[in-house]
Amino acid sequence: MSSEEVKVNTQTPTVVASQTDALLELRNVTKTFGGLTAVSKVDLIVRPREIVSVIGPNGAGKTTVFNLITGIYEPSSGEVLMAGRSMVGLSPDKIVLQGITRTFQNIRLFNNMTVLENVLVGQHTRLKATVLGSLFRTPRVVQEERMARERAIELLGFFGTGLVARQDEYVMNLSYADRRRVEIARALAADPKLLLLDEPTAGMNEAETLEAVKYIRRLRDELGLTILLIEHKLAVTMGMSDHIAVLDYGQKIADGLPDEVRYDERVIAAYLGRQSETKADDTDESDDDAV
Ligand SMILES: Nc1ncnc2c1ncn2[C@@H]1O[C@H](COP(=O)(O)OP(=O)(O)O)[C@@H](O)[C@H]1O
Ligand SMILES: [Mg+2]
């Protein structure tokens, strides 16, 4: 009996005792690239159904944190836990199956595919059809495809009727704001619990930004998602975050309620001191290409 227990344990991700009710937890996470410490001893807790923001000047390590959570990079040290289970060492595909999906600072869609096809791509980790089944188009495959399309259309419908009507258009013909929406729909297609949004309003004008704020709130309120986002527009972050973590040179220098962070001296110094590098007020589309 004990040998059976051991066998089970080796197949399950490590369970690390957690004193919190966190959905996502980073513990003392560090990532170095050669001599550069991009992320330094960062702790972060995201509880179910929270909207949490990560802010900080350009190069502070925000996107690297997302890459560590989604398995693109492995931490040099520290732990990344989802619902108390370590995700360190899991491939990005496996992490999607743990319920984490994301969008990118620079939109990553297949421009030569249609809106609907792009959303279908987001479901690929969930589809069960085999290669042979797909070749011979067995009833099961046909059924699975039909359901996948229905689901994709339903997800586009989250953003109103506009994208549903444009489902067969090539993504490259959409407005910038619509492409951001399609990218979120694709992330939703994998059925996440936790959605990571890397600068979801970058490149948007004020009206589009307000619209984005509304649907980010609806993602939490209507779909029950937990959201971690990187955001450069401070007004956006302050208005919708349960708490805000501030990074500067890879270190977390503050974490608290919007009002606590707003008046924190270290935060003010980090922003003012590097004002010329930040994009806090930019609504220019081109800034999204700065990685
Ligand atoms: N793959 C990489 N190789 C080397 N340096 C990297 C890599 N990814 C990020 N960095 C560096 O890590 C730091 C943090 O980058 P990043 O996480 O993109 O910052 P932010 O998203 O806050 O603007 C920067 O100095 C960046 O140049
Ligand atoms: Mg970034």
pLDDT at 280: 44
Residue bearing tokens 């009833």:
139
Strand partners, 15: 85
Please check whether residue 18 is in contact with residue 46, taking contact to mean a CB–CB distance below 8 angstroms. no
Q: What is the pLDDT of residues 175-224, one digit of tens each?
A: 999 999 999 999 999 999 999 999 999 989 999 999 999 999 999 999 99
Give the residue-averaged pLDDT of 123-140: 69
What's the pLDDT band for 1 if we cut at 50, 70, 90?
Answer: very low
Evaluate if residue 9 carries a pLDDT over 50.
no
Alpha helices, DSSP H, located in 122-264: 131-136, 139-157, 161-165, 176-188, 206-221, 234-240, 258-262
- What's the gap in Å between 62 CA and the centre of ligand 1? 8
| Encoded tokens for 50 | 């929270």
| Encoded tokens for 146 | 């039909």
CATH homologous superfamily of 20-99+192-276: P-loop containing nucleotide triphosphate hydrolases (3.40.50.300)
Give the residue-averaged pLDDT of 229-258: 93
Domain ranges of the chain: 20-99+192-276, 110-179
Atom of ligand 1 minimally distant from the CA of 247: 22
pLDDT at 141: 79
What's the pLDDT band for 142 if we cut at 50, 70, 90?
Answer: confident
Is the minimum distance from the CB of 56 to ligand 1 under 6 angstroms?
yes
- Give the separation between CA 197 and CA 200, rounded to whole angstroms: 6
Amino acid in position 275: Q
Is the minimum distance from the CB of 60 to ligand 1 under 6 angstroms?
yes
| Encoded tokens for 103 | 């969008």
Is the minimum distance from the CB of 36 to ligand 1 under 6 angstroms?
yes
Is the minimum distance from the CB of 63 to ligand 1 under 6 angstroms?
yes
Atom of ligand 1 minimally distant from the CA of 61: 17
Mean pLDDT of the chain: 86
Q: Which of helix, strand or coil describes residue 290?
A: coil
pLDDT at 144: 83
Is the minimum distance from the CB of 277 to ligand 1 under 6 angstroms?
no
Q: Which of helix, strand or coil describes residue 68?
A: helix
Residue bearing tokens 């004193």:
19
**Could you tell me what percent of the chain has a pLDDT over 90?**
69
Q: Give, as one character, the DSSP assignment of residue 21.
A: -
